[in-house]
Amino acid sequence: MASSSPTDPTYLRDEPSSDQNLGVVLKRVERLLTTDLPNVAPDSTGNLANATTALQHAQSALQAALTYRSLSEPQFSVSPLYAVGTNVYAIKSEVDSLAQQLGYDNGTLYNGNRTAAAAQLQVASAALQNLVTQADANASRTQRYVDCSAATAGDGSSSAPYNSITQLNQVQLQPGDVVNFRRGVTCVGMFQPQGSGTATQPITVRAYGGASGRPVINANGGNQAVYLYNVQYWELNDLELIAPGDGTTQRRGVFVNLNDFGAGTGYVLNNLYIHGVNGINQFPSPQTSTSLNGKWINASGGIVFQVDGVTTPTYFQNVLIQNDLIGTPLGTNADAPLYDVDREGIYFWSTWRTRPQLGSWWTSMPHASGFAPQLNLVIRDNLMQNVGGDGIVPQMAQNAVVENNILSGFRIRSTDNNAGIWTSDSDGTLLQFNDASGGHGTGDGMGYDIDHSTNDVVVQYNYSHNNDGGFVLLCQDGTTQYRGIVRYNLSVGDKTRIVEDCGGTYDNYLVYSNTIVSLAGAGATLYVGSGTPGPSGHSVTLSNNVFVNNGPHTNNVVKGTTVDSLTGVTFNNNVFQNYGDASQLPVNATNDVIGNAALDCRYRLGAGSIALNAGAAVTLPSGSTAATAVSDYYGQGLTTSGAPNAGMWGGAASTGTCI
């Protein structure tokens, strides 16, 4: 059916399975073409021809989907199907263009054509993967094969594969080695390999064989399915990972751990399916000083990166986590256990986290005397569902990028504080083009969070919806944190509090050009100050936002049921719809107005909207590392004539069709 609500402007939006998700499979094909096969050559087995044919079929299916939708919006015009010959790169480029045109309608199948396109892309991906295997063999990379269904233990060759995880763990792997796990076969035990790759010759893990399904590693009582300890330059691809437990001990799909190692470099986790991770969800009762709660030190979760040790400054760098499916949706299998991935989805932790900004709580756990942040960390294009606690947590990092991820259902089982996508003790984190929804409970429970001891964080172009705890949390514990920016986001149906300020000292925080829509029966206080400003006070400005209230809290603008002035928190050039009369605006407001924002079904500003040109120019704080925004939530350029709009829509009044 057609969607009546918007999504963010990416196309990683479709069915819950990674192998059916159009965006995920397309990214896989893109990786194969642009990274693994920069120069595709003719091959004797017909794989290139098969991939080309499959891409042509995907192209036709996507064009049929666009025709079925019959969009008439000029900014999303449909390009005609044209002949691109048999060049695999040209066909893939057209497929990519068509997919992007489809992508902002959430989960719409278009008469089955979108699913058909994804299926053809899977065929293309498999054919291209076969080409990669051939290319590796030609390049004399050592190929090691693992088939846990084989009757006898072999030497790791294709004709006599290893037949157990135990046997593989005893092999000293060398730079450039490729470990191939057989598709459709389950290996039992924890994969803890020996050996590191190099910058030019990483050790690669992937699938082989013609069977359907991924290779499966079931930890079967082990703490994790894959354990990379004090190794580097590793690439994990195409695996299904399970780590069952009883909920009282740590469990992880992938655990990457460095202990007094120095700089650990080069980790790629791509196209993994991680589920059935029954780790710890919260502190036990009674609690002791050494109790584990599935978070912080020795966390449980789908993917956990942890730095230990206090002697050698240690950190991860050049980490790419992409195209992974973490968790299985609730209700998809009546026989499935109640847990899926507990507690964290993707999580980082380090003993090398100590710096003056940090509050005393953080140093109550084992820590080193110094700060060594993770570098060049990218988390993108992942689909996460039914997560017990937090979704994605890139903390103790510098300039991390978290983008194009879907998080659907978090804080499902943990009753401790958890949020969707957040960062702490970090500088320069960029959270953009993500979709966070279905947060349970109000122990945090927000879609996004700028947490303790962070500077220069940018939260932009994200979609937050149906989260019990609200849209975004601003929270400090320690000394001043600087220059947080929340802009061009869309919040729909978030509950309890839209923005929560938990206290502490903030310098130059900007929350601007966001559109917030509260739904009927899901009322939320707009701004909640639940803590005490720090000794140096606050500097938080909310400007150019659109707040539409369709819930029961007519006069809940700031803190409680009546207007309440918060020291250092200012409002200007915001648009309020259905929030009562002007007397209910914040005391310290400037140029805020009450009126009709005239939002259409995609929350764009329609004709007659009071929010058109209602904003004011925003100047980024001195010292900010953020780039000036040049596009709105939907990716179109911002208006350059007159004052900016209020809200996340940056252009002229929308004349687009809603279907």
Per-residue pLDDT, 500: 86
pLDDT at 117 over 70: no
pLDDT at 72 over 60: no
Q: pLDDT tens digits for 536-553?
A: 567 889 999 999 988 765
163 in a domain, yes or no? no
Cβ-Cβ contacts under 8 Å for 427 (sequence gap 6 or more): 373, 397, 398, 399, 454, 455, 456
Domain-terminating residue out of 113, 138, 163: 138
Q: What is the pTM of this model?
A: 0.83
Residue range 390-400: mean pLDDT, rounded:
96
Position with higher pLDDT, 30 vs 641 = 641
227 in a domain, yes or no? yes
Tokens coding 189: 């035990």
- 351 and 233 in a common domain: yes
77 in a domain, yes or no? yes
Number of structural domains (the chain) is 3
Structural element, H or E, at residue 218: strand 216-218
Tell me the average pLDDT of the chain. 80
Cα dihedral 79, 85, 89, 91 in deg (nearest 10) = 40
Per-residue pLDDT, 84: 30
User: Of the candidates 183, 195, 303, 162, which has an alpha carbon nearest to the alpha carbon of residue 238?
Assistant: 183
202 in a domain, yes or no? no
- 490 and 414 in a common domain: no
Say if residues 554 and 579 touch (Cβ distance below 8 Å).
Answer: yes
Number of Cβ atoms within 10 Å of the Cβ of 360: 8
pLDDT at 209 over 80: yes
pLDDT category of residue 137 using cuts at 50, 70 and 90? low
Domain-terminating residue out of 97, 122, 138: 138
Cα atoms in the Cβ-side hemisphere of radius 13 Å centred on 339: 27
458 in a domain, yes or no? no
146 in a domain, yes or no? no
Least confident of 177-186, 227-236, 246-255, 500-509: 500-509
Q: pLDDT tens digits for 477-534?
A: 777 888 999 999 999 999 988 888 877 788 899 999 999 998 877 667 777 765 556 5
Q: pLDDT tens digits for 93-115?
A: 656 666 665 553 434 444 556 56
318 in a domain, yes or no? yes
Q: pLDDT tens digits for 308-353?
A: 999 999 999 999 999 888 988 665 554 444 458 998 999 999 999 9
Question: What is the bridge-based pairing of β-strands 490-492 and 515-518?
Answer: parallel
- 519 and 644 in a common domain: yes
Per-residue pLDDT, 6: 29
Domain-terminating residue out of 118, 138, 158: 138
Residue range 153-178: mean pLDDT, rounded:
97
161 in a domain, yes or no? no
Query: How long a stretch of residues is the chain?
Result: 659
Mapped onto helix, strand or coil, the DSSP state of residue 437 is: strand
Residue range 4-11: mean pLDDT, rounded:
28
- 388 and 320 in a common domain: yes
- 320 and 224 in a common domain: yes
- 402 and 277 in a common domain: yes
Show the domain range for 34. 22-138
Per-residue pLDDT, 237: 93
Per-residue pLDDT, 7: 31
